[in-house]
A and B are shown apart, each in its own frame.
Chain A
């Protein structure tokens, strides 16, 4: 069974601060995805990383996939109150297991104005 450990579980910061969320596993994933979920809604895909060492930027968000494709991080620069939400990482094993995403426990981010 593949597991993804996501940390921290809760993050409460002031507007303008930087933060990093980590996602770690002992298993190799063919790709890793980051989602953001608002209350009462389903998760919405932010980014997919596929190549070991890959870095992708989405405005103030920077996503990195570890060289060994076992871990990933999400860094937010100058957080805004609009960034508040539940952030989820999810790994995809590929091959015959494709489609069966393994999710981390999630990070509840609160950005105070």
Chain B
């Protein structure tokens, strides 16, 4: 596709259940990012993948959060035993490389509501 694709666009889940959010980056983009955005606020960095390098997981808020990326393609963000404070928009972004001249493109996000 032309842009960063995320699914599902909306997810309502019960507290304690696990959820998986998927991101399909722009073809050819080696860098992939996950951010979290609470309502009306700025974005919170979660994790960053760059090619075959070890991911930067320093933003993951707890061990209930994990993410994987297969090569330079799809990434999955998993939240285990969801809590109400996990409710937010989870945004994925990609860029051509980690070079400073490359624009980061965001997807439309996955709205997660934990009830």
Contact = CB atoms under 8 A, between A and B. Distances in A.
A4 B42 CA distance: 10
A45 B93 CA distance: 12
Contacts of A43: 43, 91, 106
A contact residues, range? 20 to 34
Most chain A CB inside 10 Å of its own CB: which residue of B33, B43, B44 = B43
Interface residues of B, number: 27
Contacts of B40: 86, 106, 108
Given A90-B43, A104-B42, A99 B31 contact: yes
A42 B91 contact: yes
A43 to B, nearest CB: 5
27 contacts: A31-B100, A40-B108, A41-B109, A42-B4, A42-B91, A42-B106, A42-B107, A43-B43, A43-B106, A45-B104, A48-B103, A88-B42, A88-B43, A90-B42, A90-B43, A94-B100, A98-B98, A99-B95, A100-B45, A101-B35, A101-B43, A103-B35, A103-B43, A103-B45, A105-B41, A105-B42, A106-B41
